[in-house]
Amino acid sequence: MAVVTAAVAGWLLFGGPDVWSSAEAAAAQSAPAMEPTPAIRAEGRVSTYPGDQVHLGTELGGTITRLHVREGETVKKGDILVEFDDTTLRAALGEAKAGVHAHNARAGFHVKETQRLKTLSDSGAVPPRELDRAKSERNATFAETAVALSTVKRIEADLAKTVLRAPIDGTIIACSVEQGETLPPMAQLLTIANLDRLRIVAEVDEFDAARVELGSEATITAEGLDTSWDAKVEEVPGALVPKGLKPRDPARPVDTRVLLVKLGLLQPTPLKLGQRVEVRIHLPPTHASEGR
C-alpha cells in the first residue's frame, strides 16, 4: 500500500503536469481561431463636404490693387480677399449717373409739355396730332431714362465684382496670384476649404457595392501613421463610376468601376485634404456570411 501511494504521489509530482499540459495544448489547437471582423476593403481620399470647398476667380479681370490673404490663412465669410483697380468703372458710373439726371430733366419737360398741349387740345386750340407727338416724345424720354438707370445698375454690379469676399468660413489652400498682377476675365485666384469638417470618399469595388449599407461602421488608416480612426457610411450613391485612384498594387486592375461611398469621420484626425487612405467598412453578420 505504501508503494502504491508513493507511485501515485510520484505521478502527481512528475507525470501529472506533463499529461495535463499536453491535453491543454491539444484543446488549444482544436479551438477555432479568432477571426477579424469581416470588412470591405477600399482605397479612398480625404475630401470636403459639398459646399465646403470653393474655387474663386475674377469674372471681369483687371489689376489687383490689394491682396489681403496668403495661402494657409483662415478667413471668415464676408472677409475681403482681393481688390481690383476700379478707377475706370467709377468714372463710367459717374457718367452714367449724369446721363440719368439729364434724361430725368428732359422727361420732366416732356411731361409738362404733354399736359399743356392736352389742355389746349381739349379746348380745340391745337390739333390732336400735336398732343400725340408730345406723348410720343414723352414716352421716348421715359424709355431713355430707364436705359440710363439700367446702365447705372450694371456698372454698380461690376464695381461690386472688383472686391472679392470669402463666400464661406475656411482656410486659403491655394493662392495663384500676386498683388499688382493684371489678370484676364475668368482667371482663377484662390481656393478656400473648410478643413474643420472633412470626410472620406472611398472607391468600393463594383463586386462589393451591393454589400455597402448606410450607417455601417468603418475604420480609416493612412500610410505612415500608426493609428486608426472611426468613421461611418453617410452616403451610398446609386451608380458606379470609373475608378479614379491608381491602385498601389500593380497587379490589381485599373479598368474596373467603383462605388464612391462617402464616410464621415467620428473624431478629429491629422489627415490632410486630398490624402490617400485605406478604408475597412465593417459588414453586418448577414452580409459577412454572404461574402464567404
Question: What is the pTM for the complete model shown?
Answer: 0.71
Q: Among 139-148, 212-221, 282-291, which stretch is predicted with the lowest mean pLDDT? A: 282-291
Residue 104 in this model has a pLDDT that exceeds 50: yes
The per-residue pLDDT for range 130-165, each reduced to its tens digit, is 888 888 988 999 999 999 999 999 999 999 999 999
- Give the pLDDT score at 289: 52
Domains of the chain: 39-51+197-290 (2.40.30.170), 53-83+168-193 (2.40.50.100), 87-160 (1.10.287)
Q: What is the mean pLDDT of the chain?
A: 86
Asked if residues 114 and 142 have their Cβ atoms less than 8 Å apart, the reply is no
- Give the pLDDT score at 288: 52
The per-residue pLDDT for range 66-93, each reduced to its tens digit, is 999 999 999 999 999 999 999 999 999 9
**Mean pLDDT of the region 113-137:** 86
128-160 and 87-123 helices, crossing angle to 10°: 160
Q: By three-state DSSP, how is residue 57 classified? A: strand
Diameter over CA atoms, the chain: 159
Cell numbers found for residue 141 = 424720354
